[in-house]
Structure 1
Amino acid sequence: MMDLGNMVRGVASDALAQSLLQFWEYDEGTLELWRASSNFVYAFECNQVHYFLRLSFDQDNSIEQIKAELAFMQYLQSNGFPTVTPIQSNNKKLIETLKTPDGTYIAVVFSAANGINLDEDTITEKQMEAWGKSLASLHCLSKKYEPVSDRRKSWLDTIQFMESVFKKHPGEELALQELSELTTWLQSLSTAKDVFGLIHYDFQLDNLFFEEDKDPYFSVIDFDDAMYHWYALDLVTALDDFIVDDNPQSKLLVHSFLKGYRIVMDLENDVVAQFPQFQRYANLYKYARLLKSLDYGEINDTPPWFNDLKVKLVHVADKLRNTVNRTK
C-alpha cells in the first residue's frame, strides 16, 4: 500500500499516466484507472487489444528492483510458466521514467492476462489443487534461477524496513519485540535451495487468472512484491483467507491446495508446522506497511472516498496490532 497522500494526488488526475503512456502506442481515449494500491495500474487499448500501464514512485520502488522483477518474469515465461509479458516502448525500452517536482515516476506496460479471477467463496477443491500446483511450479523454477545482474530484495531488507517504521512510531515496543523474535527464528532456518528462493509474495486469487480449458490453468500477474524468502511464506500468504477461517470446508480446501503443491514440490510436514510462525511474520510486515501508508502528512483537499479508505486501513491496522499483542 502506497502513502495515502501519494494515492490522493495520483487518483485526482491521470495527467502523469497520460504523459508516460506517450512512450507506447495506444488508442486515444481508452486510458482508465484500474487499481491503486502499492502502485497505480491503468488499463488501456492499442489496436483494440488490452494492456496495462503500471506507475511506481521512485521512493517506493527503484528502477533496479523493477529490472530484477521483469527479468524474473521473462525467465518464468521462457520456461513455460504463464505470466503476462512486459511490452517495449517506442524507444525499445521496458521501463520509462518521468521526472516531476515530487520525484521520479517509473512506468512499465504489460500485456493483459486471459481468464477470470476465481472467488474464494466458490472455488472448488480441484481448482485449489491446480492453484497449489501453479505455486509449486513457480518455486521449482525459482530454485534454478540465477539473476544476471540486478537482484530482488531479501527478507533482511524487509526486517530493516519494519524496524525503521516501528521506531518512527512511539508505542510500538511490542511490534519491535515481535520483530526481534521473528528475526532470531528466521536466522535459525536453512536457506538451502529446496526451501528458500525468489517468491511471489502475493500469490492470491486477485493476481491469478483461471482458464478451465488450459493447462496450466492459471496465468499470474503482479510480481512487484517478489523477494528472496522461504517458500513456506508464499504458501501462507496465498492461503491467508483460508487459514484464518477455522472451519471444515476451509481446512479441506487448504488440504487440496497442499496436495496440488506436493505434486510438483516436496513439502515436509515440519515445514507445514512452521506456517503459524510465517503467518506472524506476514502479519507484522503487513502491519508495518499499513503504518507507513497512514503516515501521509498533511493533505489539503481529500476526495469523498478518502475517509472511508482511511477508516478501513486503521481498522485493519488495529486488528493486526492486536494480533501482535496476543503473541506476547
Structure 2
Amino acid sequence: MAGSTANDRPFARLDRSGRTRRLRRLAEAALTGYDVPVARLTPLGRGLNTMFRVDGADGHRYVLRVQRADGPGTAQVRSEMAWLAALGRETDLVVPRPVPTRARGLVTVVADPAVPEPRTCVLCHWVDGRFVDERLSAPQLYAVGEFTARLHLHGARMNGLDRGRVDDLTEFGRSQVDGLSDAVLDRAVALAGGDERVRAAARRVRAVRAELGCGADVFGLVHGDLRQENYLFHRGRVRAIDFDDCGYGHYAYDLAVALDELKHLPQRDELRESLLDGYRSVRPDAATTDPAVLSAFAGLRRVQLRLRT
C-alpha cells in the first residue's frame, strides 16, 4: 500500500506550510460570511496564529486571522475585537478595524474536515506602515510612548471584557485565581528544570503588584505584546497591530515589554528615555514609569517567554 500523502496525514504531524495549506480552505470558507469580494488570498508568515492577506476585488486590503487551537477562545476573541472596534469609534489611534460579518458579528467560527477542530476567525482592515527596528529614532519612540499612554487611557474604561491577565506566569496560572501563587511558582520552577531564578523573578513582581494596587491609574486593559513587530509607522504616525495577547494588567507591563525589546540596539538608552518621556507627556504617572517597577515586569516577561517555548 502506498505511503500516506499530505492530504491524509494527521494535522498535528504537518509542518507549518502543510497546516497553512489545510487552513487556507477553512479561511476561504470563513470569508463567505463577509461582504468582501475576494480577489486573492496570500498566507502571511508571522505570528502564532495563521494569517492571510486578503486582497479585495474592491481595491481594499484586509487581514484574516485563523485562531490557533490553543489560543484565546471565541468569547475572548470577540472581546478583543470589541476593544478594537471601540478604539476605532472613540479615538484616532490607528489599530486594526474589525470587519463585521453579514450577520453583524465580530467573529465567525468555521469547521473543515481536514482540520481537527473548529477555528475562530476574524477579518480586519489592513494597517499600512513599515517596521523600523535598528533604525528606530528617538522621535519615533516618543510617539510610541504617547500612543501607549493613550491606549491605556482608553483601556482604563474597558471593564468587563472576557480577557485574562497578561501577567499570568504559565498556562496553569491562567486557570488559578492568582497567576503568581506559590502553587503556580512551584510548577513553573519545575518546568524550568528547578531554576529558582524563576521564583525570584515572580516574587519580585508579586511585591510590585501589591505596592501598585489595581486602581484605574495603574491597571486596566493593555496590549500585552507591544514589541517592535507589533508597532509600525506610516506618514509620521505610529500604529499598533496584533492585539491577540491583550488583557488586563498593570500599564507598566506594556512599557516593560516595549523597552526590553530595545536592549539589542546601540541607541537603547536614548530610545528608552524618549519612550518614557512620550508616555509621561500624556500620563505623568511616576508609579507606572518607575525604573524598579519596569525592571520587575521585564523580568517577568522574560520568564514567561522562557516557559512558553
What TM-score, normalized by structure 2, do the two folds share?
A: 0.80
Aligned to 2:20: 11
Counterparts of residues 143-154 of structure 1 (less than 5 Å): 143-147=156-160, 150-154=161-165
Q: Does residue 50 of structure 1 match 2:68? A: no
Aligned to 1:312: none
Match of 1:73 among 75, 84, 88: 84
CA distance in 2: counterparts of 1:179 and 1:242, whole angstroms? 20
Match of 1:219 among 239, 243, 251: 239
CA distance in 2: counterparts of 1:233 and 1:196, whole angstroms? 10
CA distance in 1: counterparts of 2:76 and 2:32, whole angstroms? 23
The count of corresponding residues between Structure 1 and Structure 2 is 280
| Partner SS for 1:11 | helix
How far does residue 59 in structure 1 lie from its aligned partner after superposition? Answer: 3.0
Q: 1:63 to 1:186 in 2, by over 3 A?
A: farther
Aligned to 1:188: 210
Aligned to 1:93: 105
Q: 1:279 to 1:173 in 2, by over 3 A?
A: same
Q: Does residue 266 of structure 1 match 2:284? A: yes
Aligned to 2:139: 126
Q: 1:275 to 1:170 in 2, by over 3 A?
A: closer
Q: 1:194 to 1:37 in 2, by over 3 A?
A: same
Aligned to 1:174: 196
Kindly indicate whether the alpha-carbon contact (under 8 Å) linking 2:166 and 2:245 is maintained by their aligned counterparts in 1. Answer: no
Q: 1:135 to 1:184 in 2, by over 3 A?
A: closer
CA distance in 2: counterparts of 1:75 and 1:126, whole angstroms? 28
CA distance in 2: counterparts of 1:229 and 1:4, whole angstroms? 36
Deviates more, 1:116-125 or 1:269-278: 269-278
Q: Does 1 or 2 have the higher relative contact order (CA < 8 Å, sep 6+)?
A: 1
| Partner SS for 2:245 | coil
CA distance in 2: counterparts of 1:253 and 1:169, whole angstroms? 34
Kindly indicate whether the alpha-carbon contact (under 8 Å) linking 1:166 and 1:175 is maintained by their aligned counterparts in 2. Answer: no
How far does residue 25 in structure 1 lie from its aligned partner after superposition? Answer: 4.1
| Residue segments in structure 2 that go unaligned for 5+ positions in a row | 1-11
CA distance in 2: counterparts of 1:239 and 1:107, whole angstroms? 31
RMSD: 2.8
Deviates more, 1:255-264 or 1:155-164: 155-164
Q: 1:129 to 1:4 in 2, by over 3 A?
A: farther
Kindly indicate whether the alpha-carbon contact (under 8 Å) linking 1:232 and 1:272 is maintained by their aligned counterparts in 2. Answer: no
Q: 1:257 to 1:167 in 2, by over 3 A?
A: closer
Aligned to 2:306: 287
Kindly indicate whether the alpha-carbon contact (under 8 Å) linking 1:97 and 1:107 is maintained by their aligned counterparts in 2. Answer: yes
Q: Does residue 38 of structure 1 match 2:51? A: no
How far does residue 231 in structure 1 lie from its aligned partner after superposition? Answer: 0.7
Kindly indicate whether the alpha-carbon contact (under 8 Å) linking 2:48 and 2:68 is maintained by their aligned counterparts in 1. Answer: no
How far does residue 68 in structure 1 lie from its aligned partner after superposition? Answer: 1.2
1:135-178 CA-to-partner distances (Å, cap 9, x unmatched) read: 1111122223334xx32101464450484974784824536534
| Partner SS for 1:188 | helix
CA distance in 2: counterparts of 1:71 and 1:254, whole angstroms? 31
CA distance in 1: counterparts of 2:264 and 2:158, whole angstroms? 32
CA distance in 2: counterparts of 1:151 and 1:282, whole angstroms? 22
Aligned to 2:297: 278
| Residue segments in structure 1 that go unaligned for 5+ positions in a row | 291-328
How far does residue 4 in structure 1 lie from its aligned partner after superposition? Answer: 9.3
Q: 1:175 to 1:39 in 2, by over 3 A?
A: farther
| Partner SS for 1:30 | strand
Counterparts of residues 13-28 of structure 1 (less than 5 Å): 13=22, 14-28=24-38
CA distance in 2: counterparts of 1:169 and 1:146, whole angstroms? 33
| Partner SS for 2:134 | coil
